[in-house]
């Protein structure tokens, strides 16, 4: 076939395309652009984390700590107490549950906004409505659960009036159920937003092409929309996982003294002037988070390869 032979000539072009790079800038200009960000990370991320890791090796004394005596005993002390190990597992478990619930709620919402709504104006308007909870303060959003979930709260009152229960349900507040509920409500937006933006970037003509080539609505979703939205899902998962793992305020307010997280334990060490143990607890938390994020990234890679 003549056409095919003529077309072969173009095969070498892609190499040239791949090798193409932007115009070369001088090193100083690049440094100028990268500098502020690097400085920010250094001062507000790398330095504090380094300090915490260092502090986790200091020795606890009766009055505070001795920064010149290095020891591993802080980690030993943490792991010797059953509480820390159990709470670490519970925190991971909760993070996983919250992550899954956020994903289950957020994906349909984001899909509806980005795919089902065709008018951009309506899309933006509805997205602002989705963001509405952010207009109230964090603490208010948590405390607002009290009058809903409390012993004399709306749910218990309503159920009792209806005669469905005779005594108030206790598991509604100051329980793990309440903590998960509040965390999902707080962080679901961190899942909706990246998925929404990722879905919105999907080229509609790719969707049309899939349909054109014989894909059913389910196949269009499974073969085109879902894989192309995975980067947004991944970012949302990282957001929610990291934020929930580090949570202590919500857990304390809504879980009362019944529920603990790594965050609340670290805080209690800190208030007991046991800075080295608090630092060790934080360091372990950071390490676990990094492992979790690495697992998420690995999972995403695998999915992409399918």
Partner 1 sequence: MSTTPASQATAGAASAAPVGSSGGGSGLHLDGVYRVFPGGVVAVEDVNLHIANGEYVVFLGPSGCGKTTTLRMIGGHDEPSQGTISLDGEILNGVTPAKRPVTTVFQHFALFPHRNVLQNVAFGLKMRGIGKVEREKQARDAIDLVGLGQMANRKPRELSSGQQQRVALSRVLVTRPKAILLDEPFGDLDRLLQLRMRVELRALQRDLGITFIHVTHNQEEALSMADRIVVMDDGRLQQVGTPTDLARHPKNVFVAKFMGDNNTIRGPVVESRDGVVTVQGKLLRGAVRGDLPVGQETAMTIRASAVQVSTSPEAAAVNAGRARLNFAEYLGDSVKLHLDVQGEPFLAKVDEARYAEIRAFEGQDVTVSWNLEDGQLLEL
- The nearer residue to partner 1, 86 or 304, going by C-beta atoms, is 304
Binning the chain into helix, strand and coil, the percentages to the nearest 5 are 75, 0, 20
In whole angstroms, the minimum distance from the beta carbon of 224 to partner 1 comes to 6
193-252 binders of partner 1 (CB under 8 A): 203, 205-206, 208-216, 219, 223-224, 227-228
DSSP-based three-state secondary structure for 113: helix
Phi–psi pair at 60, nearest 5 degrees: -75, 135
In whole angstroms, the minimum distance from the beta carbon of 193 to partner 1 comes to 22
Q: What angle do CA 76, 80, 86 make, to 5 degrees?
A: 120
Which of 159-180 are b and which e, b meaning 16 or more Cβ less than 10 Å from the residue's Cβ?
A: eeeeeeeeebbeebbbbbbbbb
Alpha carbon distance 28, 25 (integer Å): 8
19: contact with partner 1 by CB under 8 A: no
Phi–psi pair at 16, nearest 5 degrees: -65, -40
7: contact with partner 1 by CB under 8 A: yes
Report the sign of the C-alpha dihedral through residues 211, 215, 219, 223, in that order. negative
Selected binder of partner 1 within 10, 62, 132, 162 (CB under 8 A): 10
DSSP-based three-state secondary structure for 121: helix
In whole angstroms, the minimum distance from the beta carbon of 6 to partner 1 comes to 6
- The nearer residue to partner 1, 146 or 221, going by C-beta atoms, is 221
In whole angstroms, the minimum distance from the beta carbon of 8 to partner 1 comes to 4
In whole angstroms, the minimum distance from the beta carbon of 229 to partner 1 comes to 10
Q: How far is CA 89 from the centre of its chain?
A: 17
- The nearer residue to partner 1, 83 or 206, going by C-beta atoms, is 206
- The nearer residue to partner 1, 83 or 213, going by C-beta atoms, is 213
150: contact with partner 1 by CB under 8 A: no
- How does DSSP classify residue 22? P
297: contact with partner 1 by CB under 8 A: no
2: contact with partner 1 by CB under 8 A: yes
Alpha carbon distance 117, 78 (integer Å): 51
- The nearer residue to partner 1, 199 or 289, going by C-beta atoms, is 199
Alpha carbon distance 246, 240 (integer Å): 10
Of 6-14, 76-84, 141-149, 187-195, which segment contacts partner 1 by CB under 8 A?
A: 6-14
Point out which residues bind partner 1 (CB under 8 A): 1-11, 13-14, 16-18, 203, 205-206, 208-216, 219, 223-224, 227-228, 304
């Amino acid at each position: 076939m003549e056409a095919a032979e003529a077309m072969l000539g173009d095969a070498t072009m892609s190499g040239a395309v791949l090798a193409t790079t932007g115009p070369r800038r001088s090193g100083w200009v690049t440094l100028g652009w990268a500098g502020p960000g690097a400085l920010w990370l250094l001062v507000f991320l790398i330095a504090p984390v380094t300090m915490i890791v260092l502090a986790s090796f200091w020795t606890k004394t009766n009055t505070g700590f001795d920064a010149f005596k290095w020891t591993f005993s802080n980690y030993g002390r943490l792991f010797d107490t059953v509480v820390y190990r159990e709470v670490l597992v519970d925190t991971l478990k909760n993070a996983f549950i919250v992550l899954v619930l956020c994903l289950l709620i957020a994906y349909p919402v984001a899909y509806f906004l980005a795919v089902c709504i065709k008018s951009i104006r309506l899309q933006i308007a509805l997205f602002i409505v989705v963001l509405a909870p952010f207009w109230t303060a964090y603490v208010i959003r948590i405390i607002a659960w009290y009058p809903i979930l409390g012993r004399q709260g709306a749910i218990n009152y309503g159920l009792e009036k209806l005669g469905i229960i005779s005594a108030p349900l206790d598991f509604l507040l100051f329980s793990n159920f309440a903590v998960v509920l509040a965390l999902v409500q707080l962080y679901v937006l961190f899942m909706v937003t990246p998925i929404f933006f990722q879905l919105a970037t999907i080229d509609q003509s790719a969707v049309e092409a899939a349909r054109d080539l014989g894909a059913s609505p389910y196949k269009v979703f499974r073969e085109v929309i879902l894989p192309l939205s995975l980067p947004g899902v991944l970012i949302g998962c990282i957001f929610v996982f990291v934020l929930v793992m580090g949570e202590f305020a919500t857990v304390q307010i809504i879980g009362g003294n019944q529920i603990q997280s790594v965050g609340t334990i670290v805080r209690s060490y800190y208030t007991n002037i046991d800075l080295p143990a608090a630092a060790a607890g934080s360091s372990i938390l950071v390490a676990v988070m990094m492992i979790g994020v690495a697992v998420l990234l690995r999972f995403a890679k695998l999915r992409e390869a399918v």
